[in-house]
Amino acid sequence: MNENADTTERPPLLIDQVIGQEHAVAVVRLAAKQRRFVLLIGEPGTGKSLLGRAIAELLPPTEAFCVASLENPDDPSCPRIVVRPRAELEAEQKKERQQERRETFSHNYLLSLAAGGILLLCGWLLIRDRAYGLSLAGVMALIWLWRLRKPGRTRASGRAAKILVERKAGPAPFIDATASSEGALFGDVRHDPYQSGGSESPPHALVEPGAVHRAHGGILYIDEIGNLSVEAQKLLLTAIQDRSLPITGRQSGSSGTLIRSEPVPCDFVLVAAGNVEDLPRIIPALRSRILGYGFEVLTACTMPDTPQHRRDLDRFVAQEVNKDGRIPHFTPSALALIYEEARRRSGQAGRLTTRLRELGGLVRIAGDLAIQAGLAQVDADQVQLALRYAASIEEQQLALPAGHDVSGLIPEFSARLVHSSSEFPCPRR
């Protein structure tokens, strides 16, 4: 037991904060070094998301770049995609704007000269010969010339590149695409209600990147991967195979479906997670791709009850206290009850649970109770009390005779929670 639990430092790297998942940690370190895919399968709250975020910290930092869509003069419905440092892109854009302004100016200048000439000629013919017919023709020519002018400013701003992804030099991004719609995951093209008449948006300005594109150079994390539709999984497979994916409109009936950009880079490390029940819902081709270019890892739901793992639990409690920021640290006797509860929740002799989210809940409740009691440290009494509050509905039901008042039974129930492990088998409580 760590006497100095309140001074336990929270390790700066997330990977060093992971407890009881030695195998998963070793795999994740290797995957990050080699930029391999990872499928994390395990019980809820065993640290899968934590491991996913940890990989992002281990990846080498990325350089600054922008991915931008540009007008494609040869095929406006297929916007061009470029990857450049921002300064370079802005310099290119500036040069292009200057060139365009020059072209517009000389075009409109020539038209103005022609219009001036026609105007003079018409005036002269009108005064000298009263040639009304020719003058009318001159006015028609002026209208025609007016229509030929280049509006310049509006078109020039419409041609500005649209930045889809901008990355500053620094840590690799971690993009959590859990429960994203297909549009949010793979990008979309916005519907343009004004499709003609000069007020329409240029197609490249309607392109919106998806999570796969924003994760370029970093991690794409998808939890509950089994909930992704088969079509979405196939598209994900295409994205990881090609390391690029064009953006097209995804809402049927939208004008965006007529637009399909050039391929947009999406070279990411896929970290997918789920429960064992999700496995049959992952398409075999995707699993094969992950196994071929990465790892499948089953996170442990218990760990051996060793002095080292008890020290790890001390660290876990200190981490949760620091993370919460509002609750005090735990005394050794409070920690002893936490070990006891971790042992009980494992449901096996000589083991401790690694379903640490739920154990973290117990830590927070005990901390809240200590704050309520005005204490500077969490003591065994608060953990004891917290065990009553942290009970699940099923546990509360088990403790109640039919129709009995809940509040009256709580102390008795609490005693059963602490002293009986057979009644509430873990890990499936």
Please give the residue ranges that form the binding site for ligand ATP (CB under 6 A).
Answer: 17-21, 44-50, 223, 273, 316, 320, 354, 356-357, 360
Task: Check residue 379 for interaction with Mg ion (CB under 5 A).
Answer: no
Non-local (6+) Cβ contacts of 26 within 8 A are none
For residue 253, the minimal CB distance to Mg ion (Å) is 35
Which residue lies nearer to ligand ATP by CB, 211 or 273?
273
Task: Check residue 49 for interaction with Mg ion (CB under 5 A).
Answer: yes
For residue 188, the minimal CB distance to Mg ion (Å) is 26
- DSSP H helical ranges for 328-405: 332-346, 356-372, 380-389, 393-399
Residue 337, CB-side half-sphere exposure with 13 Å CA sphere: 21
The option from Mg ion, ligand ATP, none interacting with 164 (CB < 5 to 8 A, set by class) reads none
Non-local (6+) Cβ contacts of 188 within 8 A are 208, 210, 247, 248, 249, 250, 251, 256
For residue 221, the minimal CB distance to Mg ion (Å) is 9
For residue 216, the minimal CB distance to ligand ATP (Å) is 24
Site for Mg ion in 186-245 (CB under 5 A): 223
CB-count exposure of residue 213 (10 Å: 0-12, 13-18, 19+):
buried
Does residue 337 contact residue 384 with C-beta atoms inside 8 Å?
Answer: yes
Alpha-carbon separation of residue 227 from 214, 255, 364 (angstroms): 21, 29, 31
The option from Mg ion, ligand ATP, none interacting with 46 (CB < 5 to 8 A, set by class) reads ligand ATP
The option from Mg ion, ligand ATP, none interacting with 353 (CB < 5 to 8 A, set by class) reads none
Which residue lies nearer to Mg ion by CB, 2 or 49?
49
Q: Which residue is nearest to Mg ion (CB)?
A: 49
Q: What is the DSSP letter of 14?
A: G
- What is the C-alpha to C-alpha distance for residues 324 and 321, in angstroms, rounded to an integer? 5
Which residue lies nearer to ligand ATP by CB, 186 or 316?
316
Site string for Mg ion, 79-118 (x = CB under 5 A): ----------------------------------------
Tokens of 183: 């549009």
- What is the C-alpha to C-alpha distance for residues 105 and 153, in angstroms, rounded to an integer? 11
Q: Which residues lie near Mg ion (CB under 5 A)?
A: 48-49, 223
